[in-house]
Amino acid sequence: MLSNSIEKMYQNPDAGIKAIKSISSTSDNIHRQLVARSLLSESYQLKANYDEALKMALENVNTKGELEPNDQLLNNIGMIQQLQNLGLYEQSEKLVDTILKEDKKRIAAQENRIIAAKLYQLHAKNLFRKNKITEALDLLTKSNALCDINETSSYNILSTNILINARHSLQKRDYKHLENLVDQLSGISAKHPQNLYVASRLEKLKASILFDQQKYDEAIVHLDSALSKINHVDFLGLKNTLYDDLAKNHLALRHTTEHDKYQKLHQESQNKIDESRKEAIENLMQLNLDFQNQNFRTIEHKNHTNLYTSLAVGAGLLLLMGFWLFQTYQKNQFLNTQSKFLEYQAKLFESQKQQSVPPVSKEVEVETPVENDANPITDQELEKTTKQKSFSISKQKEDEILRKLNDFEMSKTFMDRNMSLAALSTQLEVNTKYLSEVIKKSKGKNFTTYINELKINHIAYLISTDAAYRQYKISYLAELAGFASHSTFSIVFKNVTGVTPNDYIQQIAKRKLI
């Protein structure tokens, strides 16, 4: 009966919840009730209803009476999963480590192989976040070995392991290994065609690979297929990521209407998810976090460990809540900055695809270059002079300067550390004052901001298209972009993109994952 409920929840979480509750209400067996609530927690997680998912996990943890050791282990793993859902990875890692130390024999027992497979998966997720790749991959291999593709209770763990592995392979652009992983997931989907969640995730994985290869039209086909499989059911978390991916692919193709449509759907669903996570954290804080001391029986004989873990979780929650409020305050500004940045990145992708630059007219009169003197005027002084006097520039001259600026942007010489307004005017053979005026009029910014945005957008493009740049130190990227210092580069990078260089690299890594 419970195995049928698992199948149902991956077809439709609401149908699964109804079936599981029916079984739970008619059984007095404590073990069956614990398993049922564990499945309910997973069902709510599929709906991205993290508040209800946490409540089910806490009900298990707070079960009265003496529990079997295996049931205690099941409850603890349920809480680890919920902590990860709420972003409390450090706290989940502490609990995983404790269980691995205290429950080696139980974990190794054949009767607990599904629980062990899930524990290794959760542990691997923690290690991936700490960039301990080899250890994480080894754990996924151990988890896979405990799973059976024909077994309802384990093939979903196996499919998730494949997707986690694919994230790493996508970062490395190991397309041969990705092809193998796609084949493995396709085999699971073919074996269990009723599982809409796995079928949709398979299409999403294919789309992620195509997006990385800049095959946006093909990626959209797979994303549309993924969405169509779950459009009528409440897989909110998965839908949220599909909306985001569709918006990015349509943006890359300059499909403005479609981009705006999916961006709106993504934002609406993200707001619901954020609110659910916020409620879950608030509820966890209201419980005073004492469930750690009362119910994690695998560590109850170590009171100092209980106290340390409870305090750590409490501190993590308080920090997370503070950060949440800060994020809410900055949200509008951040989204505006990100929108402008993504639009520019889409143009960069398009220009790289076309590799065509409008020719510069040779018939236009060339301005006399500005002569260098012993005390060259600074960019700030030049721009101040420009502000003080208004220049009348003919349409023909303005068009000529814009064409030259376009050539300049394609040449990447803006990466030169010594690039200045005077240097660029000499390079383009354009009057300095005219050049400054055209940049302000056509670009809507002064020369310094214009050059800095070119530098940052180019570095961001390299980071998003070449995995090697995601491995470089920030100081090297700063030097490459022509910035005098690491700190200046980081400040300007955040002003342009809305995030720090390190955060952007992590975002790209996640975006290329699933």
Residue type, 335: L
Residue 182 has pLDDT above 90, yes or no: yes
Instruction: Provide the 3-class DSSP secondary structure of residue 361.
Output: coil
Average pLDDT, whole number, for the chain? 79
CA dihedral 445, 446, 448, 453 (to 10 degrees): 10
CA angle 331, 334, 337 (to 5 degrees): 150
Residues 120 and 143 sit within 8 Å (Cβ to Cβ): yes
Q: How confident is the model at residue 506 (pLDDT cuts 50, 70, 90)?
A: confident
Instruction: Give the pLDDT of residue 246.
Output: 94
- Give residue-wise pLDDT tens across range 87-140: 888 888 888 888 888 777 878 887 788 989 999 999 999 998 888 899 999 999
Alpha helices in 194-235 (DSSP H): 196-212, 216-230
Structural domains of the chain ordered from first start: 2-327 (1.25.40.10), 379-511 (1.10.10.60)
Maximum separation of any 2 CA atoms in the chain, in Å: 93
Instruction: Give the pLDDT of residue 462.
Output: 87
Quote the strand ranges of 36-101, DSSP E: none
Structure tokens of 123? 């542990």
Indicate the helix (H) or strand (E) that contains 247.
helix 236-252
Quote the strand ranges of 92-171, DSSP E: none
| 129-143, 170-184, 458-472: range with lowest mean pLDDT | 458-472
Q: How confident is the model at residue 311 (pLDDT cuts 50, 70, 90)?
A: very low
- Give residue-wise pLDDT tens across range 202-214: 999 999 999 988 8
Mean pLDDT of the 30-43 span: 88
Residues 223 and 1 sit within 8 Å (Cβ to Cβ): no
- Give residue-wise pLDDT tens across range 380-421: 555 555 454 455 678 888 889 999 998 888 888 888 888 889
Instruction: Give the pLDDT of residue 444.
Output: 85
Q: How confident is the model at residue 237 (pLDDT cuts 50, 70, 90)?
A: very high
Mean pLDDT of the 296-324 span: 44
**pTM exceeds 0.85:** no
The CA distance from 333 to 329, in Å, is 9
